[in-house]
Amino acid sequence: MRSVTRKAATIGATLALAMSGALLAAAPASAATSCYASGCNGLDPAATTCANDAITVSQNGPLELRYSPSCRAAWGRDIAGIPGDFLEVYNDANGKYTTTWHSTGRFWTPMLNDKDVKSRAHLKSSNEEDWTDWY
């Protein structure tokens, strides 16, 4: 009789463990953002969750205005940067962030609040000056 009780206890414990594992595995991953709106001001989009859902909302040549709907933040990005490029993002509430690139390739500004305001990016290099549309 002890072996039957022991087998039942072992089966019950195994089932309980399996069920708890299934429940834990079924729990959804957190969709929380790492910042929101003005809380994103000055942060690097690549160091937050904001880059995960970012879209290019305006583009002019190599200049992009990137926007994260979950973070409600925008930033400027140059997809073909050269040393000395000057890139900024600003909004119509007088917010602004600027960066200068010292290498080659993609670079971007810190993020700027885009909740209930419009934003725009600006790129100035030795041979061109570009602006994105307002978004």
Structurally, the chain folds into a number of domains equal to 1
Is the residue at 50 inside a domain? Answer: yes
Q: Which domain holds residue 85?
A: 37-131
pLDDT digits (tens, 9 = 90+) for 19-63: 444 333 333 334 456 899 999 999 999 999 999 999 999 999 999
Residue 25 one-letter amino acid? A
Is the residue at 3 inside a domain? Answer: no
pLDDT digits (tens, 9 = 90+) for 107-126: 999 999 999 999 999 999 88
Is the residue at 87 inside a domain? Answer: yes
Is the residue at 5 inside a domain? Answer: no
pTM of the entire predicted model: 0.74
- Report the b/e string of 40-71 with b at 16+ CB within 10 A: beebebeebbbbeebeebbbeebbbbbbbebb
